[in-house]
Amino acid sequence: MQVDFQLGRPAQGARIVVAMSGGVDSSVVAALAARSGAEVIGVTLQLYDHGEAIGRTKTCCAGQDIYDAKTVADRLGIAHYVFDYESAFRGSVIERFADEYMKGRTPIPCVSCNQGVKFTDLLGLARDLGADCLATGHYVRRVEGASGAELHRAADPARDQSYFLFATTRTQLDYLRFPLGGLPKPLVRELARDLGLVVADKPDSQDICFVPGGDYAAVVKKVRPEAAEEGEIVDRNGDVLGRHKGLIHFTVGQRRGLEIGGQAEPLYVVRIDAEARRVVVGPKSALAVRAARLSAINWLGEDQREGLTAKVRSMARPAPVRFDGEAIHFEAPEYGVSPGQAAVLYAGDRVLGGGWIEETQASELEPA
């Protein structure tokens, strides 16, 4: 199988750097690059403690994964380098993750990682190595449009990762390549088996790489011990209903874990007051949002404002919106919109850009 790496010249004589995480996706990208006839260099970033990571599964950029990436590179006969970015990763991703929870927000560390070590530092490494492009195993499509490279959803909707790549800049998109964007995942595994890659049946990453078992609170508590300070659970009038064991255990829209009984209807976290260490709860109707103001907006489109859709969580269904350049306005009330998450804007399958949700406007007026 041949894949177009959009090099603009014959692959023979070109150089492709592949970001190799040790998983099946990036391994197949490396194999497809090698099959193209280009010189291929595999690069793996060590992002957290090697000794602590050995043997951990369902993550990326850990000890076993580095070994797997090297094994695949050896099988393909390509060069492979490992770079230690543990300090940069801790500062730009892990500590930011903890600080966002401390502020009562819901962070997305995978976007921060793509913004930082992966699409900034790694891209710089690829340029230093004289590569024509940096190829990754992300499931998105890079399409050459009338105004330059465009970012589009993957052909396989179940694997689409465009939500996590909204912060990719035009300059980065010019240099990046996503060879798997047009392929279904079963075919990628089949290719890996045909090529005899040891990672062909390796499980996909499921947890955030530095949060084994999905225990966010334990990670935040380790980085910021003060995050476990107790506080009050109050209703929207400020009446105390109970106590909590730390804001790190709660996000907007959450229902479980409140441990408050005797209420007429189920209660949800509707707001987190980090300064007062208070969790504010209310009925599901209080979660309805009609608008959200964004910050740090990255725009890949032109002047589109109407007829757009937005995703406010990675697994959310795209909702019709209007965009005024600073905020998105929902056609119908949207639920589970949390500060700290991203709002990603689309025109059909094309990613127009997005930003970080700073504050929301409720669909109903809250009690005074």
Pairwise CA distance, residues 273 & 280, whole Å:
7
CA distance 268 to 235: 10
Rounded to whole angstroms, how far apart are CA atoms 122 and 331? 39
Q: Which residues are CB-neighbours of 8 under 8 A, at least 6 positions away?
A: none
Query: Residues with Cβ < 8 Å from 32, sequence gap 6 or more?
Result: 1, 2, 3, 179, 191
* Separation of alpha carbons 132 and 138, rounded Å: 18
The 3-state DSSP composition of the chain as helix, strand, coil percent (nearest 5) reads: 30, 30, 40
The owner of tokens 């290719």 is 191
Instruction: Point out the catalytic residue in the list 60, 61, 113, 133.
Output: 113
Catalytic residue among 60, 61, 133, 209: 209
110 belongs to the catalytic site? no
209 catalytic per annotation: yes
Residues 308, 348: contact at Cβ < 8 Å?
A: no
Taking the chain, what is the end-to-end CA distance rounded to the nearest angstrom? 64
Residue 203: Cβ-neighbour burial (10 angstroms; 0-12, 13-18, 19+): exposed
Classified as helix, coil or strand, 125 is: helix
Q: What are the tokens at 79? A: 């060069």
- For 54, phi then psi, to 5°, come to -55, 130
Q: Which amino acid is at 5?
A: F
- Report d(CA 92, CA 117) in Å as an integer: 8
Annotated catalytic residues are: 113, 209
